[in-house]
Amino acid sequence: MRIHSSNHPWFLLAILVVLLSFSGALSSTHKEKTTSKNPKKEVTYDGTSLIINGKRELLYSGSIHYPRSTPDMWPKVIKRAKQGGLNTIQTYVFWNVHEPVQGKFNFSGRADLVKFIKLIEKNGMYVTLRPGPFIQAEWNHGGLPYWLREVPGIFFRTDNKPFKEHTERYVKVILDKMKQEKLFASQGGPIILGQIENEYSAVERAYKEDGVNYIKWAAKLVDSMNLGIPWVMCKQNNAPDPMINACNGRHCGDTFPGPNKKNKPSLWTENWTTQFRVFGDPPAHRSVEDIAYSVARFFSKNGSHVNYYMYHGGTNFGRTSAHYVTTRYYDDAPLDEFGLEREPKYGHLKLLHNALNLCKKALLWGHSRTEKPGKDTEIRYYEQPGTKVCAAFLANNNTEAAETIKFKGKEYVIPPRSISILPDCKTVVYSTAEVISQHTSRNYVKSKKANKKFDFKLFTETVPSELKGESFIPVELYGLTEDVTDYGWYTTNFKTDDNDLKKKGGKTTLRIASLGHALHVWLNGEYLGNGHGSHEEKSFVFQKQVSLKEGENHLTMLGVLTGFPDSGSYLEHRYTGPRSVSILGLSSGPLDLTEKNKWGNKVGMEGEKLGIHAEKGLKKVKWQKFSAKAPGLTWYQTRFDAPESKSSVAIRMNGMGKGLIWVNGEGVGRYWMSFLSPLKNPTQVEYHIPRSFLKPKKNLLVIFEEEPNVKPELIDFVIINRDTVCSYIGENYTPSVRHWTKKNDKVQAITDDVFLTANLKCSGTKKIAAVEFASFGNPNGTCGNFTLGSCNAPASKQVIEKYCLGKSECDIPVNKSTFQQDKKDSCPKVVKMLAVQVKCGRTKKNKESGI
């Protein structure tokens, strides 16, 4: 147990022994017998950490959501997470995935939660389970099924009888299933921690006393099930006992007020590895230096558990994303959308976990002390009285300059805004600011096999001019579609006479105010265009000058959803779609069509109802050969062969506007190429097609395109790799923590000579085929875009080729003697950086298994 500074450390240590012997009084204790085959684990906790079978643990966790990847991807993704130093996987449980229709549960395919958890267990890792009921997660409706909105008298996430009844039934179904499969730690399974509700404090005030009562009820619900694991509530500082309040955010080492009881540990349930993207956004990136700094700071301040949200984001297949959220999810995570290692984020965090593990004994059993030697510097260290166990974290919060810290008689230069980790209070084994892990650049290689000339055929939807309906206002769009489609039709008729149209010099304007998300408009059969809102500004106004005819005019609107909202209070009462329709500029004055006309409605596209996105429905309509142009609301279909190799596959939607993609009947997701970011580019161009969606030949590609005059001939299929591998290391950086181990409470070098190296490694069986760039000096740029600076060792490329060419992995010493072979330094005052870029490839013998 960590003990804070005191004048009587030995007295406190004696108290510690007594307290641990009565840990049941201080923690949530769940004791069961063990079996030889699958020993049951007692999971408890105290103010320091979770305690699993009597053993304290530092937990490094990553969020991986089973519906956002395919079952054939799960083994590799989980294995790579473990190789990245994680010992825990965290996942939400998605109510609307498992019970899309009331009373009918689904646990197959991407919904096979049991299979996913057993794969984690097979890899020797723990699980944190977050069953909701609300999850947010940028997932459609925050994970709540649509049918829940239709329950009479329901209010979500408050002290409301219908909501609580359905929540209790659902939660018990999920947790009972876990129990039947013996997946809880108390049964010998991997689930060591649960979470009920999600960031409830964001909405609690809206529900006042009912909100307080609801959160108490939710806590009591899971605690009463006696499942033998502790439970957390994230971003819920008033979490009722025995719930552990946990932190979400980017810098919980500074923003988290701490556990609300002294006997609860400091847990970080979401450390956001990047920012999720919505259509219209530019690219997002959170540096690994910032993530590493935040984790080191949290662990230096009594933290014992961190979860990276996300560690692998994956894909929002089909129509599963929340409103405006891109199909690609958290691609900047340590494992990218395709499950590939995004370097250096993956490697730098892996080394951080290694460094923290060297500090484990001190962190979990040491006596914590803090010193503040300067305005921007701080020392946090842990010592175990009577032993040599000691670990220190030296922090420099100056964002512009390095600072020198004197600690235990030795001086250490700490880079700007960084933390250096000393697992023996002497030896720096890791700096959060010094990235020595390799970098990679993702490549999209056009497939030769899949991109043969496409023979597109098309089917165009009929735009209705008059639909049946009795409503005197446009029907709310969420309720109209009931989450079975993104599309809802609206029609109305109105008359104008000669007097209305005689205003001299006047301009007649159609004005439609909508609460989102997008809208297409026709008047008298003519397409007027479309409009849309954004994630930040859902409401928008479509306004266009129009020509009316004398007599009856026909107005048709197509309301378009980009998903249901996923956050906020009173989610069941959120509305969208057209709300106000009027004609301006008439001689008789404005004509309000909103509440004076009858509106007809229709749900979805004819092609959706006939299922023409899949083989079974393909012949239910007459397809025409594609020529050069087509109107909007057109279905396109063609065939293609699976791309060569076993690498990940994507389709690039160049030339297209907005719509949906299917491959062999499987929903790839929504695309929106016409919604440009401030950089004048689409937010997402490439859309992941999992290999499990494909067959060797004649795969069916179906696209539903909303916009007219697109160019499907520009679409292509690409194979994804990270074969561009780089290194960017300073000659004064700290050698890798890989050189160190701990024996008998002492940090020892694994080799006789510890020195800084640049490590380059190809994936799989690939080898370094070419050195594309090398410079020891002051090069500029990033991986995939390096350029020479004013200082460069001429032998740089020759040295790298000697160390690396033809090898699957190589280590290059980063020092002057390696690169300045003539012992001449043309720029002695420059602190040298080594920039290397190599290309990995396959030999002739193994090319058949991949590119």
Distance CA 547, CA 675 (A): 28
DSSP string across 104-120: B---SGGG-HHHHHHHH
Q: Which of 57, 138, 270, 341 is catalytic?
A: 270
Catalytic residue flag (residue 270): yes
Nearest to 354 by CA among 417, 307, 305, 421: 421
Query: Which amino acid is residue 161, in one-letter code?
Result: K
Q: Say if residues 595 and 494 touch (Cβ distance below 8 Å).
A: no
Six-digit token pair at 576? 């969208």
Residue 663: enclosing H or E segment and its boundaries?
strand 658-663
**DSSP state for residue 293 in the 8-state scheme:** H
Exposed (0-12), middle (13-18) or buried (19+): which is 688, by Cβ within 10 Å? buried
Nearest to 217 by CA among 192, 194, 239: 239
* 616-625: long-range contacts, CB 8 A cutoff, minimum separation 24: 616/665, 618/700, 621/459, 622/459, 623/457, 623/458, 623/459, 624/457, 624/458, 624/459, 624/460, 625/456, 625/457, 625/458
Q: Dump strand ranges (E) for 706-766.
A: 716-730, 740-743, 746-749, 757-761
Can you say whether residue 637 is alpha, beta or left, with left for phi > 0 and alpha for psi between -120 and 50 degrees?
A: beta
Torsion of CA 99, 101, 105, 107, to 10 degrees: -70
Exposed (0-12), middle (13-18) or buried (19+): which is 584, by Cβ within 10 Å? middle
Residue 554: enclosing H or E segment and its boundaries?
strand 551-560
Phi, psi angles (nearest 5°) of residue 46: -145, -165
Q: How many CB atoms lie within 10 A of CB 365?
A: 20
Q: Which of 99, 138, 199, 476 is catalytic?
A: 199
Tally of residues, the chain: 851
HEC secondary structure over 144-191:
CCHHHHHCCCCCCCCCCHHHHHHHHHHHHHHHHHHHHCCCEHHHCCCE
Six-digit token pair at 841? 């490839």
Q: Say if residues 775 and 792 touch (Cβ distance below 8 Å).
A: yes
Q: What sections of 559-684 are H helices per DSSP?
A: 606-610
Q: Dump strand ranges (E) for 450-525.
A: 457-460, 487-496, 509-514, 518-523
Catalytic residue flag (residue 378): no
How many Cα atoms sit within 13 Å of 296 on the Cβ side? 37
Six-digit token pair at 504? 């001299």
Catalytic residue numbers read 199, 270
